[in-house]
Amino acid sequence: MVAARVAIPGLGAAPQEGTSMRDIFDAELAQLGEDLVAMAARVERAITDAGVALLTADLPRAESVIMDDLGIDAMERDLDERCILLLAQQQPVATDLRVVVSALRMSATLERMGDLARHIAQVARGRYPGHAIPDPLASTFTEMHDAAVRVARRTTTLLGTRDLAIAAAVEQDDDTLDELHENTFTVLLGGGWTGSIQETVDVTLLGRYYERFGDHGVSIAKRVTYLVTGAMASAEPAAKG
Amino acid sequence: MVAARVAIPGLGAAPQEGTSMRDIFDAELAQLGEDLVAMAARVERAITDAGVALLTADLPRAESVIMDDLGIDAMERDLDERCILLLAQQQPVATDLRVVVSALRMSATLERMGDLARHIAQVARGRYPGHAIPDPLASTFTEMHDAAVRVARRTTTLLGTRDLAIAAAVEQDDDTLDELHENTFTVLLGGGWTGSIQETVDVTLLGRYYERFGDHGVSIAKRVTYLVTGAMASAEPAAKG
């Protein structure tokens, strides 16, 4: 197996004298973790900028989020290819294997969160110079933005620290997003709604995009919890679509 | 490595005299493929039943789709655990490794398609005894249902045959779903829409659910194409959220 355990180009350092293959593999796993944190931080920025663009009708900011999503997609492909290299060349087992497979899955979840940020930015761009969010729902979507940014920031920190208290906080943010999502329907269907059809459509889709951030954050929180405790409550949160 | 190449319980047959480890591994990969086809067939049934429940306000059928989604989620977890066992015990490389990693990803995509069928069934249940789809859009959603069922049926066949002509047909179905999704906005925003706010919300969400079936089908078509040709045009279709 030694032949299969040489360092992977770009993954960790080449073997030094006195450096065990285990040291090299640990370095590669650590690098994988750093890449996930970097991807999460980029998604966090996209979610923050998309919400600001939506709430302030900031066209250049919306455009930059839309452009940057290509970079997030590239990070996922790069990370996945390196996971496959790790599987092929290090052939990890047990916990090491689950760490690599989890990285594959979490990168896909982060990529979806980036897509949702892009969709929000696209709505902001489509309504510019107008505002997509009508006044009666401005405070609700400001709260949704704040909760989504918390989910993203906590996800980044969780991936870097594996502090399960943060995982629990992400689940609370998800509950908050679900409640705020319900609020949007209460406003739309409560009888007093006078918004246009376009506003109704936008609010319906934007509410769903924001609610999904919580589901994806919980999905990552569950995977990290699983890696730390070895117990998987349930593979995914009750998905909302 | 021989110790790591014993047959996995429930994955392929135990070694027979004259049976090589490669034979065993091939049997396990074949079993994995059969499991994916079985999962795709179950998702195809969910999509079919959800659409019939929606278009005919069939409450028992909607309830059965919602219940059966738990079984689809369980299939994904089982399939993923067996992929991880295969990686750990067979330590595949090259194409074999990509087949197993692709199975992990395609099971997640199929699980999402099952969720979307459940969401459609939940809307049908929520409006019962009424119909969620207003008359002006009945034909559009009938076409969306037909296209989504084609995507699901072709995905099942594609996973079983790896016939790339079917992959191309899935991409056409996705284009059809995108056009039909655009039609819903044309009807909603064209000036003649007199539906209720609830109907506007339902049509907006249902249109999105159906449009997503196409994206997921294309994602699987691209992965199968990659496995057959070794070339990945792009990791995912331009995601719509």
Report chain B's mean pLDDT, rounded to a whole number. 90
Residue B100: domain span: 21-229
Q: What is the DSSP letter of A12?
A: S
Please check whether residue B111 touches A, CB under 8 A: yes
The rounded distance, in Å, linking the Cα atoms of A134 and B222 is: 40
Contacts of A205 in chain B (CB under 8 A): 204, 208, 241
Backbone angles phi, psi at A237, to 5 degrees: -65, 160
Whether the predicted pLDDT of B10 surpasses 90:
no
What six digits make up the tokens of B126? 């929520």
Cβ atoms of residues A29 and A37 within 8 Å = no
List CB contacts of A169: < 8 A, sequence separation 6 or more.
A150, A154
Paired with A116 in beta bridges are none
- Measured CA to CA in angstroms, residue B21 lies from A94, A202, B17, B79, B95 at distances of 21, 57, 11, 21, 17
A237 occurs within a structural domain: no
| Closest chain A residue to B196, measured at CA | A189
B11 phi, psi to nearest 5 deg: -115, 100
Instruction: Report if residue A36 sits inside a domain.
Output: yes
Looking at residue B13, what is its pLDDT?
46
B65-69, B213-217, B225-229: which has the minimum mean pLDDT?
A: B225-229
Instruction: Write the residue in B77, B94, B101 that is nearest to A235 by C-beta.
Output: B77
More confident residue, A175 or B241: A175
Is B97's Cβ below 8 Å from some Cβ in A? yes
Q: Which residue has the tokens 């990791």?
A: B235
3-state secondary structure of B5: helix
ipTM greater than 0.85? yes
Nearest chain A Cα to B94, which residue? A88
Task: Say if A93 is an interface residue toward chain B (CB within 8 Å).
Answer: yes
Residue A53 located in a structural domain: yes
Of all residues in chain B, the one with the smallest CA distance to A78 is B235
Task: Tell me what the mean pLDDT of segment B181-197 comes to.
Answer: 97
**Burial class for A28, CB neighbours closer than 10 Å (0-12, 13-18, 19+):** buried
Q: What per-residue confidence (pLDDT) applies to A10?
A: 41
Judged by CB atoms closer than 8 Å, whether chains meet at B111 and A200 is answered as no
Q: Do A115 and B241 touch (CB under 8 A)?
A: yes
What does the mean pLDDT of chain A come to? 90
pLDDT attached to residue A231: 65
Phi, psi at residue A239, to the nearest 5°? -70, 145
Total domain count, chain B: 1
Assess contact for B75 and B69: CB atoms under 8 A.
no
| pLDDT one-digit tens code per residue, B131-151 | 999 999 999 999 999 999 999
For residue A235, pLDDT over 50 is answered with no
In this structure, the dihedral spanned by the alpha carbons of residues B189, B190, B192 and B193, taken in order and rounded to 10 degrees, is: -20
Residue B91 contacts A, CB cutoff 8 Å? yes
Q: Do B101 and A104 touch (CB under 8 A)?
A: yes
CB of B201 within 8 Å of a chain A CB? The answer is yes
**Cβ of A45 under 8 Å from any chain B Cβ?**
no
Q: Residue A124: its pLDDT value, please?
A: 98
Taking Cα atoms as reference points, which of B219, B50, B51 lies closest to residue B143? B51
Write down the residue that tokens 């909603």 correspond to: B188
**What residue has token string 């059965």?**
B64
What CATH number does the domain containing A208 carry? 1.20.58.220
Structure-block tokens of residue A67: 């452009």
Cα–Cα distances (Å) from A147 to A106, A176, A178, B6, B44, in that order, read 20, 7, 10, 49, 36
User: Do the domain assignments include residue B158?
Assistant: yes
The verdict on a CB contact (< 8 Å) between B197 and A198 is: no
Express as a percent the part of chain A with pLDDT over 90: 83
Amino acid identity, position A87: L
The SS3 of residue A11 is: strand
Interface contact B209, partner A, CB < 8 A: yes
Six token digits for residue B187: 């009807």
Considering only the beta carbons, identify the residue of A1, A209, A235 that sits closest to B73: A235
Per-residue pLDDT tens for A165-211? 999 999 999 999 999 999 999 999 999 999 999 999 999 999 999 99
Whether the per-residue pLDDT at B8 is higher than 60: the answer is: no
Mutate to test the interface with A, among B106, B182, B197, B215 (most CBs of A within 10 A): B197
**DSSP assignment of A167-193:** HHHHHHHHHHHHHHHHHHHHHHHSS--
pLDDT category, A13, cuts 50, 70, 90?
Answer: very low
| Alpha helices per DSSP H over chain B | 21-56, 59-90, 94-127, 138-161, 164-189, 197-229
CA distance A182 to chain B (A): 13
Do residue B204 and residue A200 have CB atoms under 8 angstroms apart? Answer: yes
Residue A120 lies in a domain: yes
By C-alpha distance, the chain A residue nearest B95 is A88
Q: Which chain B residues are Cβ-neighbours of A1 within 8 angstroms?
A: 1
- pLDDT, tens digit, for every residue of A66-96? 999 999 999 999 999 999 999 999 999 999 9
Instruction: Using CA coordinates, name the residue in chain A closest to B238.
Output: A115
DSSP B159: H
Quick: pLDDT tens for B80-123.
999 999 999 999 999 999 999 999 999 999 999 999 999 999 99
The answer to the question of residue A7 being in a domain is: no
**What span, in angstroms and rounded, lies between the C-alpha atoms of A218 and B189?**
35
A86 within domain boundaries: yes
In chain A, which residues have their Cβ closer than 8 Å to the Cβ of B87? Answer: 87, 97, 101
Per-residue confidence band for B230, with pLDDT thresholds at 50, 70 and 90: confident
In three-state secondary structure terms, A201 is helix
CB B240, CB B215: distance < 8 Å: yes
Distance CA A230, CA A221 (A): 13
Tell whether A241 is covered by a domain.
no
Q: How far is CA B106 from CA A34, A172, A241, B10, B235, in A?
A: 26, 30, 17, 21, 12
Query: B166 pLDDT band (50/70/90 cuts)?
Result: very high
CB contact under 8 A, A240 and B188: no
